[in-house]
Amino acid sequence: MTSMRAGSDAQSPIRRGTNLPRVGDFNESVVLDAIRRQPSGLSRVELAKATGLSPQTVSNITRRLLDQGLIRESGRQSSGSGKPRTLLEVVPDSLYAVGVHLDPAVITCVVVDLLGTVVAQRSQSTPSGGDTDKIAADMAASVSALLDGSVADRDRVLGLGIAAPGPIDAAAGWVVDPPELPGWGRYPLRDRLSEATGLPAVLDKDVTAAVVAERWTGAATASRNLLFFYFGTGTGMGLVVDDTVLRGTSGNAGEIGGLGAACSTRTLVEEAVALGVLGAEYTVVNPADAQRGLRRLAELSASGDASADGVLERLSVRIGRGVCAAATLLDVDTVVFGGPVWEVLGERVLRTVEPMVASSPFVKATHSTAVVSTTLGENVAAVGAASLVLDGALSAQPGALLLK
C-alpha cells in the first residue's frame, strides 16, 4: 500500500491538533505521530498544514522534541523557490518497548524501537499444565534476558505490553479461562509480569494488539478504518474505526463466532482427520500437534490433493463471508490478514477471500477495499503487544482533551 503524503488530503491518517489551551501533551503527541508516519521526514511548514496547529505552536513543540532526543533534523527539502526547508524525523533508538505474546502453542518476546522495528526476539513452546506462577516467572525471566542481550538501554524502555487470547479482564489485567490454556483460570498476568520485570505493563487481547501493530508500523499505517483478521491457535478480528481501536465494554471486542468465521487449528485438523484427509498420527493432543497437522494439510493442498484443498476452501469461504460482513458493517478501506498460522495458510486463503471482498456490492460501489497480508510476520501479536506501550504513551489520545 502506498503511503499518503502528510496533509495531502482530507483522508490523511494524521490526527488534527488544537490551538486551545490545556492540551500541550495532546498536541505534542500529534506532532510526533505525524513525523513518525512520514519516513522521509516532514518540515515544520508541512507539520503545521497536516496537524492544523499554528506555526508557532509547531515550532515550540518540535524544539521540545529535539531537546528530548525523540526527533532530529535529517536534511533539507527544496520547495522550488525560497529557502530550503529543514526536515524532521524520528530517532528510532530514543525509546524502546517490550512485547510478550502468550499463545497456547508458543510464547514470543520482542523488543522494538520507537518505529516498531524488532531489535531482539525469542520464542519458546508454551508449557502444558496449570503451573501458571512458574510459567509467568519464566516469561519474566525471558523478558529480562532478552533486554540484557539487546541494544536497548533499560532507562529508555517505556514498558511491557502483553497480548493474550481472550477473554480478558482488561481493567484488572487478568486473563480469564483462555481457550486451549487449561488451568489458567482467572490469572493476574499483567501485575505478575510487571512486578517480576520492574516494568509498567499493559494487557490486551492478541487480536487487538495485532491491529495496533499494523497501524503503528505495519501494512495499514495510512488507513484510519481497517480490519485485522488474526489467525493463530484461534481466530478473531482487530478493529479500527476513524483511527480509533475498538475494544468494547470489557476489552473483548473481536470475537467472530457470530459471523461464522471462527476457527481453531485444532478443529481444522480434527476435521481433516475425521474425513481421512490426514492420518490418525495427526490426532491433536495439544496446540503444537495442531500446527504440525495444519502444515501437512497445507502441503497436501498445494500438491493437488482435492480433499485437502476442499477442507481449506470451506474454511476460506467462511472467513471470506465473515470478513465481507464486518468490512461492510464498519465501512473499512483495508483488511489485513496475519498471525502465527497465517504464513502457512495465507496464500491459499487469500485466493478465495480476495475476489469475495472485491465483488462485495456494498463496498465496491463507493470505494475499493485493500486486502493484504501483514508485513510483520508470524510475530505480529508480540510486536503488537510492544506497540500497545508505544501507542498508549506517544499517540494522540482524544480522551486527553476531556475536562476532568
Segment 229-270, tens digit of pLDDT: 999 999 999 999 998 999 999 999 999 988 999 999 999 999
Give pTM, 2 decimals.
0.88
Residue 351 and residue 236 share a domain: yes
> Number of folded domains in the chain?
3
Average pLDDT of the chain?
Answer: 89
Domain end (from 67, 90, 113): 90
Residue 71 and residue 125 share a domain: no
| Cβ-contact 282, 292 below 8 angstroms | yes
High-pLDDT (> 70) share of the chain, %:
90
Residue 227 and residue 113 share a domain: no
Inside any domain, residue 6: no
Res. 292: pLDDT tops 60: yes
Report the DSSP pairing between strands 226-231 and 186-187: unpaired
Average pLDDT over residues 160-167: 96
Domain end (from 60, 90, 120): 90
Report the DSSP pairing between strands 157-164 and 118-125: unpaired
pLDDT band at 14 (very low <50, low <70, confident <90, very high): low
Inside any domain, residue 126: yes
Res. 12: pLDDT tops 60: no
| DSSP-H helix ranges across 206-305 | 206-217, 265-274, 287-302
The CATH number assigned to the domain holding 108 equals: 3.30.420.40
Segment 200-229, tens digit of pLDDT: 999 999 999 999 999 888 888 888 899 999
Residue 228 and residue 366 share a domain: yes
The region of weakest confidence among 15-24, 184-193, 315-324 is 15-24
Q: Looking at 4-132, which runs of residues are DSSP E strands?
A: 42-43, 71-77, 85-90, 96-102, 106-113, 118-125
Inside any domain, residue 1: no
Task: List, as one string, the DSSP characters of 152-176.
Answer: --GGGEEEEEEEEPSPEETTTTEEE
High-pLDDT (> 90) share of the chain, %:
74
Residue 133 and residue 76 share a domain: no
Quote the CA–CA distance of 205 and 144 in Å, as a whole number.
23
Residue 363 and residue 260 share a domain: yes
Residue 278 and residue 152 share a domain: no
Inside any domain, residue 165: yes
Residue 353 and residue 242 share a domain: yes
The CATH number assigned to the domain holding 75 equals: 1.10.10.10
Inside any domain, residue 321: yes
Backbone angles phi, psi at 98, to 5 degrees: -110, 140
Question: What is the residue range of 73's domain?
Answer: 20-90
Segment 178-193, tens digit of pLDDT: 988 888 999 999 999 9
Residue 338 and residue 230 share a domain: yes
Quote the CA–CA distance of 105 and 127 in Å, as a whole number.
8
Domain end (from 71, 90, 109): 90
Residue 38 and residue 179 share a domain: no
Inside any domain, residue 9: no
Query: What pLDDT was estimated at residue 218?
Result: 86
Quote the CA–CA distance of 229 and 226 in Å, as a whole number.
10
| Cβ-contact 119, 152 below 8 angstroms | yes
| Cβ-contact 268, 295 below 8 angstroms | no
Inside any domain, residue 5: no
Residue 102 and residue 82 share a domain: no
Residue 369 and residue 231 share a domain: yes
Segment 46-60, tens digit of pLDDT: 999 999 999 999 999
| Cβ-contact 340, 233 below 8 angstroms | yes
Inside any domain, residue 3: no
Residue 210: all three cell numbers together: 495485532
Peptide bond into 355 cis (omega under 30): no
